[in-house]
Each structure stands twice: as structure tokens, then as C-alpha cells.
Amino acid sequence: MASGFFALFDDIASLMDDVATMTKVAAKKTSGILGDDLAVNAEKASGFVPDRELPVLWAISKGSLLNKAIILPIAFLLSAFAPVVVTGILILGGLYLAYEGAEKILEWIIPHGHTEEKVNLNEEITPEQVLAHEQKKVKSAITTDFILSIEIVIIALGTVVEESLMTQIVVVSVIAILATVGVYGLVALIVRMDEFGYKLIALNPEDNTISDKIGRLLVNALPILIRVISFVGTIALLLVAGGIFSHNLDFFHHLLETWPGIIKEFLVGLAVGIVVLIPILIFKQITGKKAG
């Protein structure tokens, strides 16, 4: 009887060891999307009055948890009964990531002409209009989170697809929870950084004190920090996409074998992204002319 308990404990310890190892691998594979997720949500959670930033972020976080509650069971069912579909979705996700990364790089090189909405400063905005604007941004953020959550879950699942179903469930669920808690926790710190800076500036009536300097540094650093996160996230998107193609498609797996892995994955991700981007741009150009 005692030996049975010890065997059970040994199995549990072995499972937890496998889970810990695979969780580290999955976290590394999804880090690129988490960086992009962080940059996107930091932008979407900003632009509100200070006392509404955290409530809005909490609403987005609850939507993110609901997204993952929908996605996770479907992903596990596919892994159990149609694992080849997981690989297919993984490659499709890689195409999307490569396209997104290439599109962002194109935006840096040739800024797109965005039409800005004109705001009448003399028009009084009602509380109902403010609430409607807030709900619209929350809905947009939750929709974006749904797409990114699919990518995170599928990529995490792709790292453990050869493991037992129990290991898959634990590892991917841990990654999904960490993605929500970690990303939105960091977003909360980022979007409140400038508010904390303003409070430091107003801490005392004297000018050019240490608190004033730190406060101005935090206020000025916020837009720079968001741009840096966006840049790092874009590079990471291409690396993740290149890694997906290199590990799941023989052609890319044997391509540039003597090159360092990080350079190979970046170039593969960028090349595929450009190939996907070109027909999409042509299609948008044609449909835009027809609409015009």
C-alpha cells in the first residue's frame, strides 16, 4: 500500500517536472506575441481620464479571461482528436504573425496616411458619449486580445503537442493565465506611469527638486517606452513566425542551415511576411480604387 502511494507521488513529481520544463519552453516561444500583446494593449488602455484607466483595463482583462476560457477547450479537443489541425492552425498563425511584422516594418519605412478624426472642442461631451467611447475601445481591445490569445494558445500547444494530454492542459493553461495576468499587470503599470510622474511633480511646491526630475522623466518616458515595446514586439513577431516555419516545414527547416538560428528565423519570418503582404496590399489598392 505504501509503495503505491510513493509511486503515485513519484508520478506526480515527474509530471510537475515535465510541466515546469515545457512551461519554460512554451513561455519562450510565446514571448514575441506577449511583447506585441503588451504594446497593443498599452496603446488601447491609454487615452482615458486617469480615474478610468484601471476600470477600463479591468474590463479588458475580464474579456481576455473569457476569450481564453473559450479558446482553451477547443484547442485541447483539437489536440486530442485532430492534432494535425493544430499544426495547420499554427502555420496559419505564423503567416498572420509574419504579415503583421512585415506590415509594421513597412509602416516605419513608408508611414501610411491615416485620416484623423476632427474634434470640435466647443462641443460639450455628455457622460453617455464618454461611456459609449469607452465601451467601443474596450470591445476593440477584447477583439484584438481574442486574435492574439488564439496565437498564444496554439503556439504554446505546438510546443507540447507530443506530450500527454494532461501535460498539454496544464502547460497551456498556465501560459494562458500568465499571459493575461502578466501582460495586463504590466499594462496597468505602464499606463499609470505618467500619472505617478505628475504626482511626483506636484509633491512639493519647490521647483526642480529630485521628485520633479523623476516625475518629468516618467511622464516623458511613457510614449518612448510604448514605442520601444512596439519595436521589440515587431522583431519578436518575425522571430516567432520564422521559428514556426523552420520547425514545421521541411523547406524552411533545411534552409540556411549554417546560419545562426536567430538570424535565420528573422529572415524567414520577414521573407514570408513580405510574400503575404504584397498581394494584400495589391488587393487593398484595387478595392480602394473601386470604392473611390
Q: Choose among 111, 120, 136, 126: nearest CA to 47.
A: 136
Q: In angstroms, how far is the first alpha carbon of the chain from the final one?
A: 79
Confidence at residue 124, expressed as pLDDT on a 0 to 100 scale: 61
- CB count within 10 Å of CB 53 equals 18
Segment 285-291 mean pLDDT? 73
Confidence at residue 48, expressed as pLDDT on a 0 to 100 scale: 65
Q: In this model, does residue 250 exceed pLDDT 80?
A: yes
Confidence at residue 169, expressed as pLDDT on a 0 to 100 scale: 86
Confidence at residue 203, expressed as pLDDT on a 0 to 100 scale: 80
Confidence at residue 267, expressed as pLDDT on a 0 to 100 scale: 94
Segment 44-53 mean pLDDT? 66
CA distance 19 to 29: 15
Which phi-psi region, left, alpha or beta, contains residue 208 (left: φ > 0; alpha: ψ -120 to 50)?
Answer: left
Q: Which domain holds residue 163?
A: 2-291
Who has greater pLDDT, 29 or 128?
A: 128
Q: Choose among 189, 173, 267: nearest CA to 225.
A: 189
Segment 194-203 mean pLDDT? 83
Angle between helices 210-248 and 193-201 (to 10 degrees): 170
Who has greater pLDDT, 2 or 169?
A: 169
Segment 188-195 mean pLDDT? 80
Q: In this model, does residue 40 exceed pLDDT 70?
A: no
Domain total for the chain? 1
Q: In this model, does residue 10 exceed pLDDT 50?
A: no
Confidence at residue 18, expressed as pLDDT on a 0 to 100 scale: 53
Cβ atoms of 25 and 159 closer than 8 Å: yes
Confidence at residue 36, expressed as pLDDT on a 0 to 100 scale: 62
Residue 139: pLDDT band (50, 70, 90) is confident
- CB count within 10 Å of CB 46 equals 19
Segment 207-226 mean pLDDT? 84
Q: How far is CA 102 from the centre of its chain?
A: 16
Q: Choose among 130, 249, 181: nearest CA to 27.
A: 181
Confidence at residue 46, expressed as pLDDT on a 0 to 100 scale: 61
Who has greater pLDDT, 133 or 239?
A: 239
Confidence at residue 41, expressed as pLDDT on a 0 to 100 scale: 67
